[in-house]
Amino acid sequence: MIEFDRVSKTYKQVRALDEVSFTVREGSVTGFLGPNGAGKSTALRVLAGLSRATSGAATVFGRPYVELECPGLQVGTLLDAGAQHPGRTGREVLTLGAMLLGLPRSRAEETLELVGLTGRESGRAVGGYSLGMRQRLGIGHALLGRPKALILDEPANGLDPQGIQWMRTLLRSLADSGCAVLLSSHLLHEVEQIADHVVMIGRGRVLAQGTVAELGGGRGLEQTFLDLTATADRSAR
């Protein structure tokens, strides 16, 4: 289980997160929705231990990420698909990742097949990858340890329609097998297709949360989010 409990984060005079609270349960996909600058990436960085909350707590399986024993075997993260050494091949990236987790090299090969990087593509330097290929590699890196929780920041970026369908099917199967999936995105329509639960954030605050049916109310998530954002903007003035 992934949990945010009244998490706030302040940078100098800017309140990037304001009392953010929500839960991602095992066996479900939670879509974390908001425009650029809403606070999504900041929240995920706090969750992954890369940034310290000003107040509140973000935990995975009841503990802060940094306190987990070998977190890569429990939590898979994709926060920046470009954060791979450009001179290494895709196969080298995943092989090194598997070795650091104490896994056999064969796990890298299994994961390359899972994310659809062919033999030729896996042997190319990452610096020559398209954004979609980097996304597939990043998702593969997150899945190396067969984690029971996934934290993914905009994983659909750069994927073509076939790649998005592949990702949707993959994440759904992982959730159905018991994984807790937290998926950050600004693509409202895409989240409608996969999420069991949706958390909408704007200006660092949770504006609404619930199932797609509860939030859409027949109008769709996009109109609901536009209405909520407009209300939040008026309140901030």
Q: Which residue blocks in the chain are alpha helix, DSSP H? A: 40-47, 90-100, 106-114, 119-122, 131-143, 161-176, 188-194, 212-216, 221-236
Q: What does the alpha-carbon distance between residue 231 and residue 116 come to, in Å, rounded to a whole number?
A: 43
Tens of pLDDT, residues 78-107: 998 878 889 999 999 999 999 999 999 999
- Contact status, residue 205 vs residue 18, Cβ threshold 8 Å: yes
Q: Where are the domains of the chain?
A: 2-74+148-236, 85-146
Q: What does the alpha-carbon distance between residue 150 and residue 44 come to, in Å, rounded to a whole number?
A: 11
Class of domain 2-74+148-236: alpha beta
- Contact status, residue 72 vs residue 147, Cβ threshold 8 Å: yes
User: Structure pTM?
Assistant: 0.90
Give the pLDDT score at 214. Answer: 83
**Across the chain, what does the average pLDDT equal?**
90
> Could you tell me the pLDDT band of residue 63, with boundaries at 50, 70 and 90?
very high
Q: What does the alpha-carbon distance between residue 190 and residue 143 come to, in Å, rounded to a whole number?
A: 21
Tens of pLDDT, residues 210-220: 988 888 665 55
DSSP annotation of 102: T
